[in-house]
Amino acid sequence: MKKTLFLFVLAFAVTMVSCKNSEEKSEASENDPALTEQADPGSFPMYQGEFIFLEEGAVLKGSNFIYGVVIDAKARQLAAQVEPVKKDAFDMVAVVVRGEVSKNPDVKNPGEGWEELITIKEILAVSDKPAEADIKIEETAN
């Protein structure tokens, strides 16, 4: 009887520890801006960051990456979804996308452009409010 109870308690403890670890991994992946887990083998990695689209180009900025965005139909579609959320032209909006990151073939010297580009393959989520600005510059009337 004691052995059975001990085995039951041991199995319960192992189950609880493994569930807790999987929850921690799940929470960590939710907070990771560049999520590289793939739902199925044919899908692209997910990236979570702040998106801005201007006439000069587009950028996806996360906490540990910054990519230039390849301007194609998907990038324009994302820009159209982000536009109603922005309060001014320079607001960035939090997004979650699937995409493919590649080296920028046009960069000859470091610092001359985005070293890496992301081609957006799928739009997963767009925030309903602009991201908080790291630095807010206000004009004053003199």
Domain range annotation of the chain: 1-31, 34-130
Confidence of residue 141 (pLDDT cuts 50, 70, 90): low
Confidence of residue 23 (pLDDT cuts 50, 70, 90): very low
Nearest residue to 62 (alpha-carbon basis) of 71, 50, 52, 54: 50
Instruction: Give the integer Cα–Cα distance in Å for 1 and 41.
Output: 48
Q: Which residue has the higher pLDDT, 34 or 103?
A: 103
Backbone angles phi, psi at 6, to 5 degrees: -60, -45
Is pLDDT at 27 greater than 70 in this prediction? no
List of residues 6+ apart from 127 with CB closer than 8 A: 85, 93, 94, 95
Confidence of residue 68 (pLDDT cuts 50, 70, 90): very high
Q: Which residue has the tokens 């006439």?
A: 55
Is pLDDT at 28 greater than 80 in this prediction? no
Q: What is the pLDDT of residue 3?
A: 45
Q: What is the pLDDT of residue 9?
A: 40
Class of domain 34-130: mainly beta
Nearest residue to 66 (alpha-carbon basis) of 116, 29, 136: 116
Please tell me the least confidently modeled range out of 76-85, 95-104, 123-132. Answer: 123-132
Residue 20 sits at the vertex; the CA angle it makes with 6 and 126, to the nearest 5 degrees, is 160
pLDDT tens track for 42-62: 689 999 999 999 988 999 999
- Look over the chain and give the mean of its residue pLDDT values, rounded to a whole number: 76
Average pLDDT over every residue of 110-117:
84
pLDDT tens track for 86-113: 998 889 999 999 999 999 888 887 777 8
